[in-house]
Amino acid sequence: MNRSFIARNPSVLVFLALLALFTLVVSVLSEGFGIGLVSTSFVKTLGKTLCLCLIAVAMDLIWGYAGILSLGHFAFFGLGGYMIGMWLMYERTRQIVVSSLSEGVLPPTPEEIETGIAGQIFGVVGSADFPLIWAFADSLVIQLALVVLVPGILALVFGWLAFRSRVTGVYLSILTQAMTLGLSLYLFQNASGLRGNNGLSGLQNLPGVSAPQSVVSMWFFWASALALALGYLLVAWVVSGKFGSVIRGIRDNEARVRFLGYSVESYKLAVFTLTACLSGIAGALYYPQAGIINPAEVAPIASIYLAVWVAIGGRGRLYGAVIGAAFVSLVSSWFTGGQAPDINLGFYTIQWVDWWLILLGLSFVLVTLFAPSGMGGLVDLLMRGKKRGGNT
Amino acid sequence: MKTMLLTVLSALFLCHGGTAQAQTVQDILQSQRALIEQSSRRTIGPAIDAIADSGLAQMQSVLEAWQAKDMWQRLEDGFFFAAHKTADGSYELTDFESGAVIGTYPKDALAQIKPNSGIRAMIATALVRFQLSDPDMARRGEALDSIARNPEAGLLGPLRAAIPSEKDPTLLARKLRLERLMTMSYDTDTAARVAAITAMAGDLGVDFRATLNPILTTRIVVADAGVTPEGNIAATLVPGEAALSRDAAYALLVEADKAQPVLTPDARDAGLEAHIESGRIAGTPIAKLDTETARDAAYGALAAKGLVPLLVHPPDIDASLANHQFFSIYHEPSQQVTEAAEAALAKSQSRVVASQAIDLGLDALSLASIYFLAAIGLAITFGVMGVINMAHGEFIMMGAYTGYVVQQFVPNHTASILVAVPLAFAVTFAAGVALERLVIRWLYHRPLETLLATFGVSIALQQLAKNIFGTQARPLTAPSWLDGAWVINDVVSISYIRIAIFVLALMFMGLFVFIMKRTRLGLETRAVTQNPRMAAGMGINPDRVNMLTFGLGSGIAGIAGVAIGLFAKVTSEMGGDYIVQSFMTVVVGGVGNIWGTLAGALMIGGFQKGVEWLNPSNTLAAQTYMIVFIIIFIQFRPRGIIALRGRAAGD
């Protein structure tokens, strides 16, 4: 089965080979393990980009293949980040607290350590107790499970409610956006137990690891590349089989698929939940590289940008999503980072920091209007041209 | 000693002053001369009282001169005069009694009386009684304000005396009310106080409640079991209930020396650390003391040897608490007064709650009208045409910025708003038509892509506004006649701007219904929406109708932007604050129906205010719960509150 799946989808193999090559090149050039041509911060940027590619693949599955324009997947991404962030922050603070308490005459008691950690973490929001949701923060295994479970269960409940009542199309998009807005507003509260708008910080430090950031960043880069490869394989496998045919059918004509006897809601729910879990994993790998997560990351606009990437990259083709996410997020950070040269028109200087969003917005309109298949469409054109060339 | 002597002296003078008839101003001032010259805050009281109580009308100018540091003493005989500096540096003295100028003296023949700020405040209080009968109405009003701010027992008499002469009905009512309030607190006759409290029971005024609350303040008193303490007992408290936590109760016992203090962990650890003997504490190795129980045990062992104070265990706390009673006792000694005050406050409180409910209703209504206003443009473009326009919020923003720009050119606020409203409509109408022609018209059969494309437009417009106007909020000032609020009572009030927005929302609603039901455009819009091809067959140009309808919806968003800008800050991100709520309003209400949008706005506004009322500190929570509520609501009515049926429902 697996062999035939790869054989039927040569593009998957090509993608994996390219990803492996890219990873190898970056490793060789990195500061941590190679000749140091690529700086640590750029390795982090690349690693984060790989995570964004992973969530874009998930977005492509739900939108490009199942036709559900979810404007809430960045919320799942953020939740994944929060879940791993809780453990990272708890464990690091615990080590600091223990080492400072050990300087006292008496050995620290568990209660003292707990109070010390709570004071350190929640002092900024005027609290000194652990909220209930931090109950498992001391266990890496449970928090890793929660990275998948929390977004998954939220998606399951929300999706069940939404699909059951046959909310479709733009209504569903607006409803998912409302969910994202609700979640980010909730996280903004100090009482949310996740430090309000301070968010979780210091996530780039792995507790108990003394290796320098240049090495740690490479670990995360590899982990991100591996996650992207596995996620890509999984999604490619999902869409290649009968399941993929059914969800494409739902996208193209939901009523007809329902009349054929398929439980449309179950398929949608499965896709929605699966992609939410993938997003959670992507987020859990992204935020330790970013170092900080706060509720602004979960705001509705982030999920909209996700849709923008996938649309520009090209829906309905997984490599399109990857290309779009990588291209737009890297170009975006290039423009907004102030590195792009300003254009002097004589009477006015175009500063890209200010004008990039306008360019992005307008190019998005143009892509939607004139190139619905996005940048991935170019690959299609090339392929078709080659095939035709081979035939004649 | 000197102070005491002076007090006795002044008391003698006072008696003397009280018995003598037909005194002059100077007599009284001379009788208080020692105190005035000493000018100390602690001793000056009797002097000021003597002057103020003399009954002489001229004393007001004496006190005013004194307060203004214009009272000088002539050194040759010690007499007091009002003085003011002449051009050549000497001083012209005026007699208080007659008001006549009695001559000019060089500065070294005089001494200035310099009251410090404390004394000046006391003089100001004494002056109040003169001001209460001042011929100038404004000064009488100020005097009442001053008493209301700082009521004192001594002012009750002057206030009562000033009532019969009051001619102005408003001031008379204020004086009477203040007299009632002060009677409650300061009258010596209990019956009069009870009568005053009972008469005003149920009053909604903040001042009334503020007067009652100090009467009802209590302190908590500890007594041994079976002993009833003296005083006006309000209640018997049980430790552990809401009014008195166990910790607080035990702290009271400790304070009253009836129990051992509970040892804090820090104190315990300090005790342990003080008794380390060769790496062990009470025989336990230090390394073993890494749990709370181990530390407690070690401390107990130390305490048993008498080396440290005893540790109080939870059972000890229970026993101590059980052996004592806790009472809350009113500071106010009279039980009749406190009972009447409790009853009156309860009556007021229930009326306050009722008024708060009304106030909340008004708030909810005004929030609903804001949502309605923001959503009504969408009710046209999304509700009627079925076009998702994510740039709708940016049209609201464009309208608000139009208003801001107009105000830069038209300084008169009323005129500028009158110009801004049609201009905002024109600008956003044009923007809407352009958007429809350039983007949306190509995507009528692909609604998800309309959503995305208009997102792109929204991002671009938002950034454009940021580039032009900067990131800081711009003011859009309302005309001054919209300032202030309609105050119904001390609890219920609503600002005029909110009333204006409510009225505006009603007007738009009427306009919408009129256009849709009574005009050619409305008819054609409905026809094109239901069946574009058949409408085209009937001679309607669908392109033109779509363009105009979309322009109309956008134009209304622009006007809503002006209205919203009047009370909220105009920023490039303001559109984003309303877009999700607006879509929710339309979806919850039911697409394609203006009454549904109205119902949706009312429901969302009401729900949000309701949650805010339950949890007033947290408006973010209110919005979160509102969204959760909407998601659940859509489960039960997927097509909204007012769902279209039959053919109008479309698909």
Residue range B209-256, pLDDT digits in tens = 888 888 888 888 888 877 777 778 888 888 877 777 888 888 888 888
Q: How many A/B residue pairs have CB atoms within 8 Å? A: 151
Residue owning tokens 């003598």:
B20
Residue A270 placed within a domain: yes
Given pLDDT bands bounded at 50, 70 and 90, which one contains residue A392? Answer: very low
Q: CB-CB: which of B286, B452, B464 is closest to A368?
A: B452
Does residue B4 carry a pLDDT above 70? no
Q: How far is CA B136 from CA B142, B159, B169, B528, in A?
A: 10, 16, 15, 72
Does residue B430 carry a pLDDT above 80? yes
Given pLDDT bands bounded at 50, 70 and 90, which one contains residue A390? Answer: very low
What average pLDDT does chain B have?
A: 82
8 A C-beta contact, residue A108 and residue A101: yes
Q: How far is CA B463 from CA A300, B259, B270, B394, B571, in A?
A: 17, 68, 61, 10, 11
The torsion region of residue B231 among left (phi > 0), alpha (psi -120 to 50) and beta comes to: left
Chain B residues 397-456 with a CB less than 8 Å from chain A: 439, 442-443, 447-453, 455-456
Residue of chain B with shortest Cα separation from A308 = B452
Note the pLDDT of residue B14.
46
Chain segment B562-595, per-residue pLDDT in tens: 988 888 888 888 888 788 788 888 888 877 778 8
Residues from chain B contacting residue A354 (CB–CB below 8 Å): 463, 466-467
Q: Is the minimum CB–CB distance between B289 and chain A shorter than 8 Å? A: yes
CA distance B361 to chain A (A): 24
Which residue pairs from B59-66 have beta carbons closer than 8 angstroms and sit at least 24 positions apart in sequence? B59/B25, B59/B28, B59/B130, B60/B127, B60/B130, B61/B96, B62/B25, B62/B29, B62/B96, B63/B123, B63/B126, B63/B127, B63/B130, B64/B127, B65/B96, B66/B113, B66/B115, B66/B123
Nearest to residue B622, comparing CAs of B360, B359, B354, B374? B360
Neighbours of A222 (CB within 10 A): 16
CB neighbour list of residue B468: distance below 8 Å, 6 or more residues apart: none
Q: Pairing relation of β-strands B324-330 and B218-224?
A: antiparallel
Q: Is the minimum CB–CB distance between A319 and chain B shorter than 8 Å? A: no
Residues from chain A contacting residue B295 (CB–CB below 8 Å): 106, 109
Given pLDDT bands bounded at 50, 70 and 90, which one contains residue B616? Answer: low
Residue A275 placed within a domain: yes
Do B456 and A161 count as a contact with CB atoms less than 8 A apart? Answer: no
Label residue B251 exposed, middle or buried (CB < 10 Å: 0-12, 13-18, 19+). middle
Does residue B339 carry a pLDDT above 70? yes
Does residue B650 carry a pLDDT above 60? no
Label residue B525 exposed, middle or buried (CB < 10 Å: 0-12, 13-18, 19+). buried
Q: Where are the alpha helices (DSSP H) in chain A?
A: 2-8, 10-29, 40-59, 73-101, 110-122, 140-164, 169-188, 213-240, 242-252, 254-259, 264-290, 300-313, 318-336, 352-370, 376-391
Chain A residues 53-112 with a CB less than 8 Å from chain B: 67, 69, 105-112
Q: CB-CB: which of A107, A167, A185 is closest to B634?
A: A167
Nearest to residue B500, comparing CAs of B555, B565, B558? B565
Note the pLDDT of residue A387.
58
Q: Is the minimum CB–CB distance between B503 and chain A shorter than 8 Å? A: no
Please give, one letter per residue, the 3-state secondary structure of B157-185: HHHHHCCCCCCCHHHHHHHHHHHHHHHHH
Averaged pLDDT for residues A155-182 = 87
Residue A329 placed within a domain: no
Chain segment A101-117, per-residue pLDDT in tens: 888 778 888 888 888 88
Q: CB-CB: which of B455, B464, B635 is closest to A358?
A: B464
8 A C-beta contact, residue B72 and residue B80: yes
Q: B111: which strand partners?
A: B73
- Give the C-alpha separation, B534 to A100, whole Å: 80
What's the predicted TM-score (pTM) here?
0.77
Chain B residues 598-627 with a CB less than 8 Å from chain A: 618, 620-621, 623-624, 627
DSSP 3-state assignment of B248? Answer: helix
Residues from chain B contacting residue A300 (CB–CB below 8 Å): 580
Residue A387 placed within a domain: no
Note the pLDDT of residue A326.
92
DSSP 3-state assignment of A176? Answer: helix
Best of A103, A170, A197 to mutate (most B CBs within 10 Å, chain B): A170
Q: Is the minimum CB–CB distance between B471 and chain A shorter than 8 Å? A: no
Do A191 and B621 count as a contact with CB atoms less than 8 A apart? Answer: yes
Provide the residue type at A342 as one letter: D
Phi first, then psi: give them for residue A292, nearest 5 degrees. Answer: -145, 145
Do A361 and B461 count as a contact with CB atoms less than 8 A apart? Answer: yes
Residue A364 placed within a domain: no
Averaged pLDDT for residues A137-149 = 92
Chain B residues 246-275 with a CB less than 8 Å from chain A: 265, 269, 272-273
Provide the residue type at B272 as one letter: L
Do A185 and B451 count as a contact with CB atoms less than 8 A apart? Answer: no
Total number of residues shown for chain B: 651
Domain that residue A254 falls in: 5-299
Residue A256 placed within a domain: yes
Q: Is the minimum CB–CB distance between B485 and chain A shorter than 8 Å? A: no
- Give the C-alpha separation, B317 to B249, whole Å: 10
Task: Return the axis-axis angle of helices B206-215 and B169-186, rounded to nearest 10°.
Answer: 10
Note the pLDDT of residue B7.
52
Residues from chain B contacting residue A164 (CB–CB below 8 Å): 635
Total number of residues shown for chain A: 392
Residue A315 placed within a domain: no
Averaged pLDDT for residues A179-195 = 86
The total of structural domains in chain A comes to 1
Residue A228 placed within a domain: yes
Note the pLDDT of residue B17.
43
Does residue A141 carry a pLDDT above 90? yes
